[in-house]
Structure 1
Amino acid sequence: MADGAGSPTAPDAVWRAGAFAVAAIITFGLSLRLMFGSASSLIDEIRDGYHLDAVEVALLTTGPVVCLGLGASVAPRLARRFSVLPVATVAMAVLAVGTALRAVPGWPILLVGTLLGGLGIAVANVLGPVLIRLLFPRRIGAMTGLLTALICVSAGIASGITPPLTRAVGDSWRTGLGAWAIPAVLAAAAMAVLTVGRARGLRREARAATEVPVVPTPAPTVGLRARMRWAITGFMGIQSLLAYATVAWVPTIYRDRGVSADKAGLIFAVLSVSSIVTALGVPVLATRMRSQRVLAVAVVVLATAGILGVLTTGTWGAWPSAVLIGLGQGGALSLALVLMNLRTASAAEATTLSAFAQTVGYLLAATGPIAMGVLHSLTDGWSVPLIALAATMVPLAACGVVAGHPGAHDRGMSAAAAPVPAYPQSDTGGAGVARSPIHSDGARPNP
């Protein structure tokens, strides 16, 4: 619907702005794990093609996770200097370049491309919860669920599609790896459109109102706030350890049990698709509850049951075990992300907490694939590595119990107290991004 001048009415423009922002989040979330899933399904081909030893394989599978931890620490400084959307755009572009480099022959180029992509993902990981808070402040639960579901399912999509994709392009596994740069290119383009549209539509006062004053990550404060910060960090780190250990080794475990590469990829795809259920549902429930302890324990129980299923049931129990791990993993990641918003009072605090939790958490997570690989080499089997992985669910549950129950000093933002949406009923930007009438702390600017 348009007015006499042929321009869209305010409601139409607002609807288009919101729809495009959702589409941008979809491409953004999908891009964050494709690189990991595609490599895990072709690890044997990569190892044989480049004659890699165990250390080099560990660099390929764990190096990017280390980059996630190291790169996360710079995200707040970049966001403070350049603002969130431009940094997210560049992060997606870096991911696209790194992923595309994996199609170029040469082991050093493959490693550099993988690590470069890991740095792009690291920055994007930190900014994900902040983008949700800025663009959809009254839909934090639902949009966090959507983002988490996309992150979870993307690794499975890549794991399941990469082997047949490789055959379709003439058994070129390098092309199969590099092809996953396309979604990252689309995500970078979508973020660029949001950035340009926002810049066009902002007046000087509104621009100051929507700027995110991010400060470098401070040391944890004393008392209950420090306890909460470390609990969220521990929960984020251990659930990430579970995620990257399963991405790195679940397909290999089943291939070692005689399962074909295609079927092993499908098993992991089922794991990832199953995570959508809890990834979508847990954040919505979490934003409606003051305490999230029950949710934390529930997702840990599901993941533990799945790990024990992989340990004890062999190939016949692969499918239900994958479903259980997926349900636990999707719920744990989405709960970790939504807690970063529920336990903070502003986008600036959320960015700081997100960076701290992901810096420490991903460095912890990097030990998972390495430890499982070392234990497998020492024991020549997968029983001990899986038992060790199941044991990490105990501290995960403990961190969840602490992080899921806010104390008197753990101020945060409930769903009911969320600020007004970033898409007001008028004054949208040129590319469909609305002018936000709020400061980063949720307060309206003076007229």
Structure 2
Amino acid sequence: MENVRATPTTAIWLMISVVLVALNLRPSMAAVGPLLSSIRGDVPLSFSGAALLTMLPVMAMGLAMFFGIGLGKRFGEHRSIVLSLGVIGLATLSRLFLDSALELIVSAIAAGVGIAMIQALMPALIKTRFGDNVSLFMGLYVTAIMGGAALAASFAPFVQVQTGSWRVGLAIWAALALLALVFWYAQRAAMPPLPQAGSGAQESFFGNRRAWLLAIFFGLGTASYTCVLAWLAPYYVEQGLSEQNAGLLLGFLTAMEVVSGLVTPAIANRRKDKRRVVAVLLVLIILGLCGLILMPQHLHLLWPCLLGLGIGGLFPMSLILSLDHLDNPRRAGGLTAFVQGIGYLIASLSPLIAGMIRDQLGSFEWAWWSLTAVAVVMLLIVTRFNPTHYARHIQ
């Protein structure tokens, strides 16, 4: 299938629209952690219950991945993303009016479904319309996702202080969805339907061992991201920081993710074999987690910095590794949808497990040790991703 070319001006506006859409894919989750103490003061929630606010959207993201591609083929990418942004915006805005934990959890699930639909469609769109620089544009897209998390984590506590309401701190991010909706809708003329790879059914990767290995790798890496997103701020509140300072620390971590998300794919784009780049990222994560456990009160900017640099680069690199396995954009999009679907289901368990550990043991330290062990396992897995064997593993 041929890539769809666009004029430079059209490409620039399309990429701006992609970035604005991507900014909406994390605030519904990232705003929760820094405000958790206030939420729990108003709504009865254990740490395990609070974990559902991150776990269930991620689980919904995983499940929705499997029908996101089909919806895109039926209604078109442009219309499907418009619908998804509407779902995210309404789910976020509804938090102004929530009075119970159940209502909060339902809003989180609805936002997760909208997020998943966009994430299922966007990799194939980028590979098709920016085929000569997939790593660079995937890096920009994923960096914008993490940028949305940084905005929400940093400013949600500030909004709460200014308005006196944690509900406003959670709901204000609906404005981002409206902004993205305006820009994305304006791109409808530049978004002709993707050419079809064939008239048959969507290819299934469930029987492919390499697809499962890629999915497990993505899931374990995303488990670190979701667990840190959910619990880093509450962990530092327990270490004595205020909610606002803990939120700023999480914002700093996600800002480092943004830096790494931009720089790492640009470095990796120069080389066919990306294993060393990924290994360095995993070592940074291990060092950051060990610092959180052993010296949380000392060098407390260094550990989030190392974690952010590692996690921020690992997220786009996990998707790029999947995209590199196939040249056909629609098949590659199907593979990344499978990888994300299974991966998000795996990752969704990490906030709940960490919350249960906190409830049972009274500390998050064992959760951080568990993530350290996961990163070591990932170092072993990454040795398997030799690009000279990609064609043999994905027929």
SS of the equivalent of 1:216 reads coil
2:318 equivalent among 312, 336, 356: 336
* Aligned-pair CA distance for 1:139: 2.0
Match of 2:135 in 1: 141
Which structure would you say has the larger Rg?
A: 1
2:349 is the alignment partner of 1:367: yes
Match of 1:384 in 2: 366
Match of 1:151 in 2: 145
Match of 1:189 in 2: 182
Whole-angstrom distance in 1 between the partners of 2:107 and 2:169:
14
Instruction: Indicate conservation of the 8 Å contact 1:145/1:284, yes or no.
Output: yes
Gaps of 5+ in 2: 1-5
Instruction: Indicate conservation of the 8 Å contact 1:232/1:400, yes or no.
Output: no
The change in CA–CA distance for 1:332 and 1:215 in structure 2 (over 3 A counts) is: farther
Whole-angstrom distance in 2 between the partners of 1:156 and 1:112:
23
Match of 1:326 in 2: 308
* Aligned-pair CA distance for 1:83: 2.4
1:111 equivalent among 105, 108, 120: 105
Match of 1:218 in 2: 204
Q: Deviations over 1:25-45 (max 9, x none)?
A: 110111111111111111111
Whole-angstrom distance in 2 between the partners of 1:369 and 1:52:
14
Mean Cα displacement is larger for which, 351-360 or 244-253? 351-360
Instruction: Indicate conservation of the 8 Å contact 1:76/1:352, yes or no.
Output: yes
TM-score with structure 2 setting the length: 0.92
SS of the equivalent of 2:295 reads helix
SS of the equivalent of 1:102 reads helix
Instruction: Indicate conservation of the 8 Å contact 1:127/1:351, yes or no.
Output: yes
Gaps of 5+ in 1: 1-12, 200-206, 413-447
Mean Cα displacement is larger for which, 234-243 or 125-134? 125-134
* Aligned-pair CA distance for 1:141: 1.6
Whole-angstrom distance in 2 between the partners of 1:411 and 1:187:
38
* Aligned-pair CA distance for 1:144: 1.0
* Aligned-pair CA distance for 1:300: 0.4
2:75 is the alignment partner of 1:75: no
Q: Deviations over 1:342-362 (max 9, x none)?
A: 111212112211111111101
Aligned length: 387
Instruction: Indicate conservation of the 8 Å contact 1:80/1:215, yes or no.
Output: no
Mean Cα displacement is larger for which, 336-345 or 293-302? 336-345
2:288 is the alignment partner of 1:294: no
What is the one-letter code of the residue matched to 2:156? T
Instruction: Indicate conservation of the 8 Å contact 1:134/1:347, yes or no.
Output: yes
Q: Deviations over 1:95-126 (max 9, x none)?
A: 11111111113223322221100111111122
SS of the equivalent of 1:70 reads helix
For 1:15-414, list aligned pairs within 5 A.
Answer: 15-107=8-100, 108-169=102-163, 171-199=164-192, 210-211=195-196, 215-221=201-207, 226-403=208-385, 405-407=387-389, 409-410=391-392
Match of 1:426 in 2: none
SS of the equivalent of 1:317 reads coil
* Aligned-pair CA distance for 1:395: 2.1
Instruction: Indicate conservation of the 8 Å contact 1:101/1:178, yes or no.
Output: yes
The change in CA–CA distance for 1:125 and 1:73 in structure 2 (over 3 A counts) is: same
TM-score with structure 1 setting the length: 0.82
Whole-angstrom distance in 1 between the partners of 2:36 and 2:152:
13
What is the one-letter code of the residue matched to 2:261? A
Whole-angstrom distance in 2 between the partners of 1:374 and 1:288:
43
Instruction: Indicate conservation of the 8 Å contact 1:94/1:116, yes or no.
Output: yes
Instruction: Indicate conservation of the 8 Å contact 2:66/2:341, yes or no.
Output: yes
SS of the equivalent of 1:294 reads helix
Q: Deviations over 1:3-38 (max 9, x none)?
A: xxxxxxxxxx93431221121011011111111111
Whole-angstrom distance in 1 between the partners of 2:234 and 2:250:
10
Instruction: Indicate conservation of the 8 Å contact 2:261/2:312, yes or no.
Output: yes
SS of the equivalent of 1:290 reads coil
Whole-angstrom distance in 2 between the partners of 1:411 and 1:80:
26
* Aligned-pair CA distance for 1:217: 5.0
Whole-angstrom distance in 2 between the partners of 1:406 and 1:317:
42
Greater share of helix residues, 1 or 2? 2
What is the one-letter code of the residue matched to 1:372? A
Q: CA RMSD in A?
A: 2.0
Whole-angstrom distance in 2 between the partners of 1:403 and 1:124:
27
The change in CA–CA distance for 1:380 and 1:267 in structure 2 (over 3 A counts) is: same
What is the one-letter code of the residue matched to 2:106? V
* Aligned-pair CA distance for 1:370: 1.0
* Aligned-pair CA distance for 1:198: 3.3
* Aligned-pair CA distance for 1:406: 4.2
What is the one-letter code of the residue matched to 1:285? I
Q: Deviations over 1:275-302 (max 9, x none)?
A: 1232112222333222111011111001
Instruction: Indicate conservation of the 8 Å contact 1:241/1:364, yes or no.
Output: yes
SS of the equivalent of 1:318 reads coil
Instruction: Indicate conservation of the 8 Å contact 2:323/2:333, yes or no.
Output: no
